[in-house]
Amino acid sequence: MLATPVYIICSPIPQVGKTLVSRLMSEFLLLKNGTALSFDINLKEPSLVDYLPNIT
């Protein structure tokens, strides 16, 4: 059985680039593996679902 990596991107400080890093990581995994699944608990704009709605 293969292990599934989980990446958690978080910070207690707002506006430090969490959505940007999450977007870059998701797009990298899509290009590398062809699949990725992202979760976003951000209630404020901009949200990861605005940039990658098919995998968020």
The number of distinct structural domains making up the chain is 1
Q: What is the 8-class DSSP label of residue 37?
A: -
Provide the token pair at 46: 């901009």
Q: Could you give the count of Cα atoms lying within 13 Å of 32 in the half-sphere of its Cβ?
A: 7
**Which pTM value belongs to this model?**
0.81
For 34-54, give one letter per residue: b (16+ CB within 10 A) or e: eebebebeeeeeebbeebbee
Provide the token pair at 12: 């207690």
* Long-range contacts of residues 9-17, Cβ cutoff 8 Å, at least 24 apart: 14/44
Model pLDDT, residue 42? 80
Domain of 41 in residue numbering reads as: 1-56
For each of the chain's 56 residues, which pLDDT tens digit applies?
788 889 999 988 888 999 999 999 999 999 998 888 999 888 777 788 888 889 98
